[in-house]
Amino acid sequence: MNIERGRIYRVNLEPTIGNEQQGDARPCVVISRTALNDRTSTVLVVPLTTSARPALPPVLIPVTSLGKPALALLLQTRSIDKARILSAAGTLSNSDLKSIEDALREVCDL
Domain borders along the chain are: 7-107
Residue 52: its pLDDT value, please?
77
Residue 10: its pLDDT value, please?
97
Quick check: bond before 47 cis, omega within 30? no
Supply the DSSP string of 68-95, one letter for each residue.
Answer: EEEEEEGGG-EEEEGGGEEEEEEE--HH
The secondary structure element, H or E, covering residue 98 is: helix 94-107
Q: What is the CATH number of domain 7-107?
A: 2.30.30.110
Q: For residue range 21-80, what is the model confidence (pLDDT) as tens digits?
A: 988 999 999 999 999 999 999 999 999 999 878 889 999 999 999 899 999 999 999 999
